[in-house]
Amino acid sequence: MSHAVTESLTTTIRELVDANHILFDQGVVDGFGHVSVRHPERPDRFLLARSMAPALVTEKDILEFDFDGNPVVPNGPAPYLERFIHGEIYRKRKDVNSVVHSHSPSVVPFSVVPTVKLRPVCHMCGFLSEKGAPIFEIRDFAGPGSDLLITSQKLGAALADSLGNEPAVLMRGHGSTVVAGTIRQAVFRAVYTEIGARLQMEAMKLGPVTYLTEEETVGTTKTISTQYDRSWFLWLKAARNSPMSQ
């Protein structure tokens, strides 16, 4: 870190480490994927682990970045290649304080089938857009021969534009990025984006799907917003009891 570590910063770092472990334990990330949080005292910066598997992240692995994706302390450990996802979203969205990027398996199919949108099918994923999550097509910005990764400010800004004011954006052939006002809310949304995708695919096998209305998405999101701690502490206990944490 670039300056004295305060109690607020210490708490935020600890929660960010927990978020990494929960997302792995819940099957949202594996050896890849990452979660960040806006700096609690410097809103023009964000915290993100060094380039490593999320399940192995500790407090000492957390780095501080500016919105251009530059580490505040130079010559440190290698950062994630796609840190530009986080910086450009924080730059564009003042309401966002945490970002999760993952390749969760049930979500990816919705990024490559343009005729089927990822939409909310149950109250727990009511935060998803009733019209369907937007899809970021990297070919529109990097041409037909990219590696599909967001490895520059230009691509990060384009992704942030595709996200718009939504809570989630799918990335064609790649994964998704989910945003929220807090770490716990972002983790909740990342987990239930994956669960929602799984439920939608199962429902579609049975027949036409009845999706939540716009009014229902508002109502369910409002109610669930008071319940994030309920799942957070359950998932945290499971992650800490996992063999990976031993």
Q: Could you give the residue numbers annotated as active site?
A: 82
CA distance readout (Å), 73 to 20, 50, 53, 63: 22, 12, 21, 8
Do 84 and 153 touch, CB atoms closer than 8 A?
A: yes
Angle between helices 7-25 and 183-206 (to 10 degrees): 20
Beta bridge partners of 168: 178
Cβ neighbours for 218, distance < 8 A, ≥ 6 positions apart? 126
Please identify which residue in the block is written with the tokens 């942030």.
160
How far, in Å, CA of 170 to CA of 132, rounded? 10
Which runs of consecutive H residues, i.e. helices, occur in 121-210? 139-142, 153-163, 183-206
